[in-house]
């Protein structure tokens, strides 16, 4: 059997809450680049432009156009009682939603405008038929593309004065426009390839984006669909997207994660392998450790949030009330556990010393229960970088498969960490062609 | 349909009634208690809310029930897993050792409920978590109207909002 070797792995992180800024700055060397969601780029444009400019790392903007084709409630905010601050509920006890969230209002009303503004006002979802007018289509694509190229590319005024000082010292300073590494055409979730559906709209969006850009920046198109359709229509999807004028692909399989069952993992692996044969880079838009393993089958890179956001569904409600509780990533078994409950109960140093980590953060605080949110994310960044480094340095698929199999057999009955089926699944899939 | 299949099709909610009767001496019973983004199936409490017993019910997946039950030891003096008796009959004897190792009790449920492995207190009880849950339960007693066991079963099957946090006490 041919030994599967790594093809190199690029990891991107999605910009999230502003307090993550310090993490991105402190650990610049552990990631390839950053993804900025369009509504964040719009609402916090000055912050993002300054942040990206200071980091000098590759970035691109996720236009998140798909969200306007889902129900309008996804971008509406919860209504709260002004006195108590509690969320208002309807007769059935469901949370009530109101106007568009502030973070989306700006992109709808000022940046995308056109058809997006119209449907938001009508409080309905976008439909494929909304793009039958050539004018509306052109206007929409133009706005989305220009937004990506221009929104964060200009150096904020406050940095321009340093150019004068730097030139006096005969030193260089970066004040040139900071363009994204590629442009992402508007994209929408499709669950069929019928003629009048989103699938055809997506392909049209790619063509129109190329018309707007000409010989300019590269285009990476998003393929956002369900696992079932990947299984059913992979050849057609690969043919059509392969022939499109995309320079690469961003793959998002709805609600997919490496922790799903083996049948699902095989479908995604098979599709990816065939897509990679087109000869263009494929990056997983939401990925976890399994995305590193998919590198053996042609995946070039993946992205996620810092210790969150490793999988996403089309209709995931973005308004999760309250912060995500801090979690600790156990490198050996590739699992995250909640610090406040699970880590507090498990006593890793005493019961599972194998799980102790040697990163700089864990060396300072040997019991993970002592880590705060910032530290647990730092630990994740460092550990993930080490995982990718080992992969890039030539760790083979069969070596990883053997390790996962041993770990599964050793810990499968430990209820603290259940389920661990992913280790068994990964062990098997790595040995398959 | 065989008796075994009927049993196998029982939902976790169907285990509640015998379990509630098992702990009939406890003044309060709380269902679906929110706890760090999860929900504890049943929490029994003494009249002063000083002693808390937690029960996780499952039909098949004993592992995740044990996992949750160990987390519940952070706030509950005693923590149990309840499984249908036919499921317990299929478990390997080694698995009973796992329950004993983590001091998690095991309740067998058929028409009645019976404690097969007693729960034990261990050193993981956390005052902060205990106070947090006690506060939530106390609020519930103040703000929620108690319902009968039949109402709970009915509401659960309808999955109505009010079921999320109902309170009752056994007859």
- String of DSSP letters for A156-177: PHHHHHHHHHHHHTT-----S-
A321 → chain B, closest CA residue = B37
Chains A, B: CB contacts under 8 A, how many? 46
pLDDT at B158 over 70: no
B139: contact with A, CB 8 A cutoff: no
> Which pLDDT score is estimated for A19?
84
CB contact under 8 A, B64 and A89: no
Confirm if B163 and B31 have CB atoms less than 8 A apart: yes
- Residues A427 and B6: their CA atoms lie apart, in Å, by 37
Residue A251, CA distances (Å) to A187, A271, A312, A342 in order = 11, 10, 12, 33
Angular region, A77: left φ>0, alpha ψ -120 to 50, beta rest: beta
Work out the percent of chain A whose per-residue pLDDT is above 70. Answer: 91
**Which of A86, A90, A345 is most worth mutating to test chain B (most B CB atoms within 10 A of its CB)?**
A345
Bridge partners of residue A374, in order along the sequence: none
**Contact flag A92-B160 (C-beta cutoff 8 Å):** yes
pLDDT in tens, A299-332: 999 999 999 999 999 988 665 556 678 999 999 9
Q: Is the CA virtual torsion A206, A207, A209, A215 positive or negative?
A: positive
Across A8-28, average pLDDT: 92
Share the mean pLDDT of chain B: 83
Q: Which residues of chain B does A325 touch, with a Cβ-Cβ cutoff of 8 Å?
A: 36-37
For the segment B123-148, the average pLDDT, to the nearest whole number, is 84
What 8-state DSSP symbol labels residue A78? E
pLDDT of amino acid A74? 86
Q: Do A93 and B162 touch (CB under 8 A)?
A: yes
The alpha-carbon radius of gyration of chain A (Å, integer) is 23
Give the span between the Cα atoms of A92 and A80, in whole angstroms. Answer: 17
Indicate the burial class of B143 (C-beta count within 10 angstroms; 0-12, 13-18, 19 or more).
exposed
pLDDT tens column, A164-185: 666 666 555 556 778 999 999 9
pLDDT band (50, 70, 90) for residue A70? very high
Cα A348-B43-B38 angle, rounded to 5 deg: 55
Closest residue, chain A, to B66 (C-alpha):
A415
Contact residues on chain B for A419, CB-CB shorter than 8 A: 63-64
CB B87 within 8 A of CB B57: no
**Are β-strands A248-253 and A59-62 bridged in parallel, bridged antiparallel, or unpaired?**
unpaired
Chain-chain contact of A415 with B66 (C-beta, under 8 angstroms): yes
pLDDT of residue A110: 94
What are the pLDDT digits (tens) for B90-114?
998 889 999 999 999 999 998 899 9
* Average pLDDT over chain A, rounded to an integer: 90
| Site of tokens 């041993």 | A406
pLDDT (average), residues A251-277: 97
* Closest chain A residue to B164, measured at CA: A93
The answer, for A326 touching chain B at a CB cutoff of 8 Å, is no
Helix (H, G, I), strand (E, B) or coil at A157: helix
- State whether residue A340 sits within 8 Å of chain B by CB: yes
Band (A85; pLDDT cuts 50, 70, 90): confident
Interface of B with A in 113-132 (CB under 8 A): 124, 126, 129
- Residue B84 or residue A172, greater confidence: B84
A81 versus B117: which is more confidently predicted?
A: B117
A194-203, A280-289, A350-359, B79-88: range with lowest mean pLDDT = A350-359
Q: What is the pLDDT of residues A116-150, one digit of tens each?
A: 999 999 999 999 999 999 999 999 999 999 999 99
Nearest CA in chain A to B124: A345
State how far the alpha carbon of A33 is from the alpha carbons of A7, A10, A419, in Å.
Answer: 18, 8, 32
Query: Residue B95: its chain A contacts at CB < 8 A?
Result: 413
Residue A72: what pLDDT? 87
Residue window 46-105, chain B: list those with CB within 8 Å of chain A.
62-64, 66-67, 70-71, 73-74, 94-95, 98, 102
CB contact under 8 A, B102 and A413: no
């Amino acid at each position: 059997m041919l030994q599967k070797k790594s093809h190199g792995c690029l990891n991107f992180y999605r910009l999230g809450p502003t307090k993550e800024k310090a993490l991105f700055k402190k650990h610049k060397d552990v990631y390839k680049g950053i993804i900025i969601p369009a509504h964040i780029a719009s609402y916090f444009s000055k912050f993002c432009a300054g942040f990206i400019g200071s980091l000098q790392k590759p970035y691109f903007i996720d236009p998140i156009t798909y969200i306007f084709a889902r129900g309008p409630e996804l971008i509406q905010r919860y209504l709260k009682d002004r006195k108590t601050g509690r969320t208002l509920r309807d007769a059935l006890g469901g949370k009530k939603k109101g106007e568009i969230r502030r973070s989306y209002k700006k992109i709808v009303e000022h940046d995308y405008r056109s058809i997006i503004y119209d449907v938001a006002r009508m409080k309905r979802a976008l439909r494929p038929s909304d793009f039958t007018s050539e004018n509306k289509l052109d206007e929409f694509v133009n706005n989305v593309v220009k937004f990506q190229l221009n929104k964060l590319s200009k150096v904020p005024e406050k940095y321009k004065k340093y150019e004068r000082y730097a030139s006096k010292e005969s030193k260089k300073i970066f004040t040139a426009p900071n363009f994204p590494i590629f442009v992402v055409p508007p994209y929408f979730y499709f669950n069929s390839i019928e003629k009048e559906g989103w699938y055809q709209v997506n392909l049209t969006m790619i063509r129109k984006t190329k018309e707007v850009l000409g010989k300019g920046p590269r285009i990476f198109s998003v393929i956002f669909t369900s696992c079932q359709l990947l299984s059913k229509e992979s050849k057609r999807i690969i043919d059509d997207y392969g022939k499109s004028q995309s320079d690469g692909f961003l793959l998002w399989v709805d609600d997919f994660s490496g922790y799903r069952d083996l049948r699902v993992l095989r479908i995604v692996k098979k599709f990816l392998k065939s897509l990679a044969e087109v000869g263009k880079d494929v990056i997983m838009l939401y990925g976890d450790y399994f995305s590193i393993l998919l590198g053996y089958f042609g995946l070039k890179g993946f992205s996620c949030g810092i210790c969150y956001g490793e999988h996403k569904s089309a209709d995931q409600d973005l308004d999760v009330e309250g912060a995500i509780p801090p979690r600790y990533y156990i490198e050996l078994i590739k699992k995250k556990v909640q610090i406040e409950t699970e880590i507090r109960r498990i006593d890793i140093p005493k019961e599972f010393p194998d799980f102790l980590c040697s990163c700089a953060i864990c060396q300072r605080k040997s019991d993970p229960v002592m880590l705060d949110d910032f530290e647990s994310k730092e630990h994740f960044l460092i550990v993930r970088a080490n995982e990718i480094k080992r992969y890039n340095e030539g760790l083979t698929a069969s070596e990883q498969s053997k390790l996962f199999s041993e770990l599964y057999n050793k810990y499968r009955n430990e209820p603290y960490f259940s389920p661990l089926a992913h280790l068994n699944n990964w062990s098997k899939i790595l040995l398959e062609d | 349909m065989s008796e075994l299949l009927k049993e196998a099709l029982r939902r976790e909610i169907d285990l509640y009634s015998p379990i509630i009767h098992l702990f009939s001496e406890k003044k309060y019973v709380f269902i679906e208690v929110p706890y760090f983004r999860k929900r504890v199936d049943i929490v029994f409490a003494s009249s002063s809310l000083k002693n808390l017993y937690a029960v996780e019910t499952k039909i098949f997946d004993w592992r995740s029930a044990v996992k949750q039950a160990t987390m519940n030891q952070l706030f509950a003096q005693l923590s149990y897993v309840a499984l249908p008796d036919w499921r317990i009959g299929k478990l390997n004897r080694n698995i009973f050792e796992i329950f004993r190792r983590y001091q998690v009790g095991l309740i067998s449920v058929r028409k009645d409920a019976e404690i097969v492995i007693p729960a034990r207190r261990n050193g993981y009880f956390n005052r902060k978590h205990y106070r947090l849950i006690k506060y939530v339960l106390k609020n519930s007693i103040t703000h929620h109207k108690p319902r009968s066991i039949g109402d709970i079963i009915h509401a659960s099957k309808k999955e109505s909002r009010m079921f999320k946090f109902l309170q009752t006490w056994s007859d």
